Structure 1
Amino acid sequence: MKQPRQDVTGTDRSDLSLLSLEEPALGARAALVAMAAQLRTACEVPDPVPVVHRMYERMTAPAPGDLVVETGTAVAHTGTDLVTAFGILVEHRQEWTTTDEQWQAETHRDPRLTAQDRVSEDTWYIQYGPAAEDVCRWVNCTFMTLPIDVYPTAQTR
């Protein structure tokens, strides 16, 4: 299992205007987040038609490279939360809560600790800005895909 932030890197995304950290893009982010929240709610219906079911499945199963938003913080707040809770999913994985160095220090302080005592957590890495270093680590949260690449046709309904 990997340590926090191990092997996680962003890429230059200056080609994607939605990741701009300038004021006009932040307004566009807020609008997209609000619409995505409404779309997700609209898809949460009993016995949905196939196109609605596929869209809901797509939104609730983000994959690396997807445009995503954190469903709790970003939908409920604005400002800094929205900035780092919206972006491109770099990686979603289970990893240790501490680095190997931190774990060794803990076991040195308490020799009764064993490998079974080491805790892991579900982590999300989101590139929220255009620079490769604009990557935020999230835990204890859920992300959804903003389905900007889903254009259902009459044949898929």
Structure 2
Amino acid sequence: MYKLILVALLAVFANAQSLNFSTGKIEAHTEIFGDSNINPFSENIQSTLSIKEKIDSLKGVIKINTLSLHSNNEKRDEHMYELLNTTLHPQISFEITSLTKIEEFYEIQGVLTLNGVKQVIMSKANILEENNHIILNGDFSINLTSFELKPPKLLFLTVRDRIDIKYNLDYIKG
């Protein structure tokens, strides 16, 4: 019986095809009320994704090193790293748990881990499969306070609690 279960599990994993990260960018956007925009991004993305036969079988984890987030203001980046507790939580990760096709888009459900706090997140994405590539373009929003992070204040100015995330990720079937 044990051998039969082992063979069945190996058959399931043998049908999954790994996806190798090619290029991409993850961008965040928030605002300082009454002042300016904050738009950090990272192109330093690590992931372990796999797919079986159809796009809706996509599973895996996408990670960024928190210190790879950069904006156009080094001083602001230092404050961002402090806010994100980079010494205790050096990575931000998103584990894809399911995909559902809704009209021409996909709804990606997953678990975002930020500041050591896990939250279920829904993202609307356009997923293209062409020339041995899988390309994910999507977005979602989070609140800092949902991840036990307090939006910083600068004198009389406050950073908005909501962070809008956009991603464009290109994978090669491998």
Q: Indicate whether the TM-score tops 0.5.
A: no
Give the TM-score taking structure 1 as reference length: 0.24
Structure possessing the higher relative contact order (Cα contacts under 8 Å, 6 or more residues apart)? 1
TM-score (norm: length of structure 2): 0.22
Give the strand-richer structure, 1 or 2: 2
Higher helix share: 1
